[in-house]
Amino acid sequence: MADFRICPHCRAFVPTSERTCTECQQPMGRPYAGRPAGAAALAGLVPPTHFTTVILLLINSALFAATLILSARSSGDWGGGLLSVDGFVLYSLGAKLTRSIRLRGEWWRLVTAGFLHGGVLHLLMNFWALYDLGAQVEEAFGTARFLVLYLVSSACGFLASCLWTPALSIGASAAIFGLIGAMIAYGYRSRTTLGQYTRAIYTRWAIYGLLFGLMPGLQIDNAAHLGGLAAGLGLGYLAAPSAGALNWLWKAAAAFAVLIAVVSFLFVWIRFPAR
């Protein structure tokens, strides 16, 4: 898809050489990658097309560093946490645990669990998937819709996990499956050959990811993946940009979703065990 970009008006895929959309005949403007974002994308260190994704990755990294430090302090082992993090530390930082959500009303765990990881391999696998996927989704839907898709899909994934298993669960993969679902919906709504190709590519992503989760010996929360995927499909179909008048609504929804995430981590801080 390197030779295509998204029309800001009808969101169709258009060759980068075109200055007018081949679908809606509206002027294309400058390519997304050429527009400034986030203080010139951190002074040129981050590609503008990956800016929001990199912010999410940095948040995940900071929280993983916190889990490593807290796990090491708890166990006295400063190397073992790279492969697996202490379960009580993850719980304290907001991991999903069905009993706490249902009986104690700790709803915020549905949000915070999506930013935690159980080891460096878990973290890197999710980073690998999110880095490219996030840029594709943000390019297709815009930043506001991307944030709503990411945060809501993650929460819905852990809600599905609560309904399926009482076990502790964490990870960005619920949100990642939500982004995959959104791209499938985007391809479904696009009536172009490239849209059909997009749908086929991300459908394979979803199938491979779900099959990987069925491999024996792996502690993978498939319910969270399915919940995130379903939420992404539904939201992706609704979020496919059409009327520009709805942009303000998605920006408001994105601001509200970010606010809920911030409040959720405030609950983590307030209820964190005595330090």
Q: Are 248 and 236 in contact (CB under 8 A)?
A: no
Domains and CATH numbers, the chain: 45-271 (1.20.1540.10)
* 238-259 tens-digit pLDDT: 887 654 557 888 999 999 999 9
Those residues with Cβ within 8 angstroms of residue 56's Cβ, 6 or more apart along the chain or in another chain: 130, 134, 150, 172
Q: Give pLDDT tens digits for 5-56.
A: 666 555 566 666 666 766 666 665 544 433 444 444 444 445 566 789 999 9
CA atoms within 13 A on the CB side of 100: 19
Q: Which of 50, 117, 122, 225 is catalytic?
A: 225
Cβ-in-10-Å burial (0-12, 13-18, 19+) of 164 comes to middle
Q: What is the pLDDT of the chain when averaged over all its residues?
A: 83
The pair of three-digit structure tokens given for residue 230, joined into one six-digit string:
């379903």
What pLDDT, on a 0 to 100 scale, did the predictor assign at position 157? 97
Report the residue count for the chain: 275
Residue 67 to residue 119: CA distance in whole angstroms:
9
β-sheet bridge partners, residue 169: 96
* Catalytic-residue membership of 225: yes
Give φ, ψ of 15 to 5 degrees.
-55, 140
Is 100 annotated in the active site?
A: no
* Rounded CA separation 238/174 (Å): 19
The whole-angstrom separation of Cα 78 and Cα 68 is 8
Residue 78 and residue 65 in contact, taking contact as beta carbons nearer than 8 Å: no
For 61, 117, 166, the CA distances from 143, given in Å and listed in that order, are 21, 24, 34
Q: What is the pTM (predicted TM-score) of this model?
A: 0.83
Of 169, 173, 190, 264, the catalytic one is: 173
HSE (side-chain half, CA atoms, 13 Å) at 89: 21
Q: So what's the pLDDT on residue 213?
A: 84
Q: Please give the radius of gyration of the chain, using alpha carbons only, rounded to the nearest integer.
A: 19
Decide if 169 contacts 96 (C-beta within 8 A).
yes
pLDDT 10s digits, 122-173 = 999 999 999 989 988 988 888 999 999 999 999 999 999 999 999 999 999 9
SS3 call for 13: strand
What is the spatial distance between Cα 31 and Cα 8, in angstroms, rounded to a whole number?
10
